[in-house]
Structure 1
Amino acid sequence: MTVTVEETHRTNSKFKLVGPKEVGYNVKQVDVFLERARAYFLNTDTQGKAITSYDVRTASFDPARGGYSALAVDAAMDRIEDEFVLREKELLIASEGEKAWMMKIGKTASVLRGRLHRPDGERFRRPARRNAQSYTIEDVDVLCRELLVYIEDNGELSVDVVRRAVFAPAKGTDGYEESQVDAFLDRVVELMASIDPVPGK
């Protein structure tokens, strides 16, 4: 359901707002999530549920007329995720040593590499339902080949390319199952964000 942003929010907003008749992200939901994330990151929230980089990466907001610009919020969420990944890396190294972090990265890369090495057209399962929405196989395989070069040959690929990847839609067994591809790319983003330094750090 699409809601409408109240005028009071339009004069005191953290992000650029879309036009009153355009659809953006629900302002209240974005503000609440970011406040929770900020409080947890700064250690001022010791009672609430822990927030991880995965929570930031998978957060979603309802559509709202006149809401926050999705482009602006998504860019901010990417930066916040990078900060959380860096914090998680530092905490792991501090508690278990750099070797533990390297082992974690190596294990994740090994799992991802195994699927990336599968032949084109066979990297992910096909939907069980004939009319289910799916991703075009060729589009997904193109990105997978680029990821394999990134992981094995130190290829140049920005984590934002993976975050913003869009695949043409397909139907049923003509494409890859969306949920499996999305879950795999989540792990890829986690790995890339852990390896690549945060700008300015």
Structure 2
Amino acid sequence: MRTEGFSVDGFNLAFAIKSCIRLSILQDGKLVYCLAIKSGLDRDPYLVPALIDVYSDLGSLKDAHKLFEEIPEWNTGIWGSMMKDYLKSLEQTKVFELFSKMRTDGFELEPFTSECLVRACGNVSAGKEGKSVHGFCIKHNFMNSNYIYLQTLLVDMYLNCGLLDFGLRLFKEVSNKDVVLWTAIVLEAGFSFFALTD
């Protein structure tokens, strides 16, 4: 691309880095990151979430968080990337800390960051906090058919927290149930097909 005279920007570098991650060629991801630094784009809001993911996939959450802290202007994509990477490393406490800081800094949850928070609640059986996130999702209209994955995570979270009644009630409210949601409720709760369709 560079040899053809095209300019480099954060948007196309982000795609290049994501491709490296998907293809498991993280060394090339590091090279793209070096190009970003050389081009003065290492703080670009489109590029930073991808860079955070590279650090995380290279096993350096410390460096990922350092990059996160150095960003002059955060957006929800950057918050979500950092939360997702802490979740992958089973550091739920860090997810809650980020959520607290996010709210203090005036950012609202959106569907992706809500998903991260729901997963963290389910992983540590934080049912009370999970109910609060569910309430927020209802308030902000995240519970419609466009967010079936979020609904599945909420059902799973309730079941992991031992709140079977809440999980089953939410399951019955979901209008467009998919295979993943059915699997979650059957495997986690052990309900029979006939009980769920009553």
Which structure: greater helix fraction? 2
Which structure: greater strand fraction? 1
TM (norm. structure 2) is 0.28
